[in-house]
Amino acid sequence: MDIGAVRTLADDAEYRLALAAIRPYFEAEPAEGTSEAAHFDALALLIEEYEDRHYPLPKAEPVEVIKAIMAAKNLSRADLVEVLGSKSRAADLLNGRREINLDQIRKISRAWGISAGALIGDLAA
């Protein structure tokens, strides 16, 4: 391996070539430990880095994530009340009167099987 030749994707043309090169691996994933698997992993990392640099996704507000999860899983306010243990806490959270706290993040994450990181939003900033 020529480590000096390793570099990130420089432009949209290289990005499109990398997307085209990785596509076949999704139909026939290479066996672990093969050179094809290493190529697949390298392409995935290069594509991810390029997308992070050129197409960053904004962080969603925690309440928007909760609402999206509730819609996707067909959950009701009553389901959120059951997780949080309080009707007023659930209403305050959904209506934006209170920000989500760490205890609520933990409860929702465990109960609904979602990443706690998805519920943090800009709280870490």
Tens-level pLDDT at each residue, the chain (125 residues): 677 777 899 999 999 999 999 999 988 889 999 999 999 999 999 999 999 899 887 778 899 999 999 999 999 999 999 999 999 999 999 999 999 999 999 999 999 988 888 888 654 44
Same domain, 66 and 112: yes
Question: Structure tokens of 17?
Answer: 């070539």
Tokens 């009340």 correspond to 81
| Coil/strand/helix, residue 57 | coil
Same domain, 67 and 28: no
**In this structure, what CATH number is given to the domain that contains residue 78?**
1.10.260.40
> What was the pLDDT predicted at 117?
83
Same domain, 28 and 78: no
Please give the tally of structural domains in the chain.
Answer: 2
Same domain, 37 and 66: no
> What was the pLDDT predicted at 125?
42
Which of 36, 54, 72 is the endpoint of a domain? 54
Instruction: Label residue 97 exposed, middle or buried (CB < 10 Å: 0-12, 13-18, 19+).
Output: exposed
List phi, psi (to 5°) of 58: -70, 145
> What was the pLDDT predicted at 122?
57
> Domain of 90?
62-124
Same domain, 80 and 99: yes
